[in-house]
Amino acid sequence: MNNPVHKDTQSVWGGEEQSWMQGATQVPVVHSVSFGYRDMDEWMQVAKGEKPGHIYGRNTNPTVQAFEEKVRLLEGGQAATSAATGMGIISSALFGLLGSGDRVVSIKDTYGGTSKLFFEFLPRFQVNTTLCDTADHAAIETEIAKGCKLVYLETPTNPTIKILDLERLTAAAKKTGAIVIVDNTFATPINQNPLQLGADLVLHSATKFLGGHADALGGVICGNKDLVEKIYHFREINGATLHPMAAYLLLRGMKTLHLRVARQNRSALEIARFLFEHPAVGRVYYPGLETHDNYEIACKQMQGFGGMLSFELKENTLEAVKRLLPRLRFAHAAANLGAVETLVGMPATTSHVECTARERAAMGIPEGLVRYSTGIEDTRDLIADLTQALEGI
């Protein structure tokens, strides 16, 4: 969709350009569970979807709808729907679109919860997933060409920040008619728009960068209208509805999304360069470094490289990570990312907490890996903090 309004303006105004009760300038938090009608014919029309309006809070709600609309405009999709968490929207999408006998092609580096759906839950319903090596585009193309209902991608990945070429892989899926879903949580709509690169659907854990303040859970998906309707229909029945209060917090957070992400992009690049030179640090994973395996792809499809990076300590052990993290003054050691505060974590307690040490090793995730979610603090303070913490180990 060709949208003449720029993303910075859309972050502020998107979904909010209508008149609210009594001229309120901010979207009201509508807690009402149901919506009453005095005209039974009008009620009937709204219920049938012939007229805009709301019936019951598990289905739709004005605050939630404003949030969905803001994301839809930023991603340039036809339609959007949401859920209580990122996993709520991912599972609604997979269970809403797939049926017994369908095949999925995905990558080994999807978010830990998503890979649980592929390993543990979907096979119970005879939906099997082939998980390809994330670094091997040719292998992914080969698996897609064998035929599948759905291609599920994520880029950049968690926690080793790998990059997939979305134009290349969506082109492969188009040839076989497979639906392509992209988890765009790490990039944000400011840095990357998968729908413009050929994906059918793009989703976010809104808990992370979209909300940005680590105080509300949420998930959202947008893209092709028919597909979004199927996902919405399953979500209204499974009941994983986004709460209006959470929707409000996410909406408020998103008004500064463009400012936060711009700062995070800049700081993360500087920090990645600093870590790259540091004697106590081994590999640094950041797509904005020329040494990153997929630097060219990142330059082609991303408008910024994002706030997420990870690095391995030279002493590549969990013990070394356990000594480092508590020494950081300006970083919460917590299982979250994308907030205004810097956050650090280790895969064993964050992205891959659901996996055993052996499963993590099989996925190529080193035990001495530190995931670093850059906040909006002054970059100089973050680098000084890392300097003193790395000296201490």
Q: Which positions are annotated as active-site residues?
A: 58, 111, 183, 208
The alpha carbon of 386 is separated from its chain's Cα centroid by a whole number of angstroms, namely 26
Token couple for 69: 């609309």
Token couple for 357: 């040490």
Residue from 28, 57, 113, 198 in contact with ligand PLP (CB under 6 A): 113
Residue facing ligand PLP at closest CB distance:
86
Interface with ligand PLP, residue 208, by CB under 6 A: yes
Interface with ligand PLP, residue 307, by CB under 6 A: no
Interface with ligand PLP, residue 85, by CB under 6 A: yes
- Segment near ligand PLP (CB under 6 A); pick from 31-39, 125-133, 181-189, 369-377: 181-189
- In angstroms, give the least distance from the CB of 3 to ligand PLP: 25
Distances (CA, A) of 348 to 5, 319, 342, 351: 42, 12, 19, 7
Token couple for 348: 């064993």
Count CB-CB contacts under 10 A for residue 370: 25
- In angstroms, give the least distance from the CB of 167 to ligand PLP: 20
Interface with ligand PLP, residue 143, by CB under 6 A: no
Number of residues that bind ligand PLP (CB under 6 A): 15
Residue from 109, 183, 200, 312 in contact with ligand PLP (CB under 6 A): 183
Cβ partners under 8 Å of residue 256, min gap 6: 11, 212
**Alpha-carbon gap, residue 261 to 370, rounded angstroms:** 21
Cβ partners under 8 Å of residue 272, min gap 6: 284, 286, 288, 289, 309
Token couple for 96: 């809403």
Interface with ligand PLP, residue 253, by CB under 6 A: no
Residue from 65, 81, 158, 192 in contact with ligand PLP (CB under 6 A): 158
Beta bridge partners of 152: 181
Interface with ligand PLP, residue 181, by CB under 6 A: no
**Alpha-carbon gap, residue 300 to 291, rounded angstroms:** 16
Residue 387 Ramachandran class (φ > 0 left, ψ -120 to 50 alpha, else beta): alpha
- In angstroms, give the least distance from the CB of 55 to ligand PLP: 26
- Segment near ligand PLP (CB under 6 A); pick from 59-67, 82-90, 101-109, 159-167: 82-90
- In angstroms, give the least distance from the CB of 279 to ligand PLP: 31
Q: Which is nearer to ligand PLP, 27 or 202 (CB)?
A: 202
Residue from 217, 250, 321, 331 in contact with ligand PLP (CB under 6 A): 217
**Alpha-carbon gap, residue 164 to 84, rounded angstroms:** 27
**Alpha-carbon gap, residue 131 to 326, rounded angstroms:** 35
* Residue ranges in contact with ligand PLP by CB under 6 A: 85-87, 111, 113, 154, 158, 183, 185-186, 205, 207-208, 217, 219
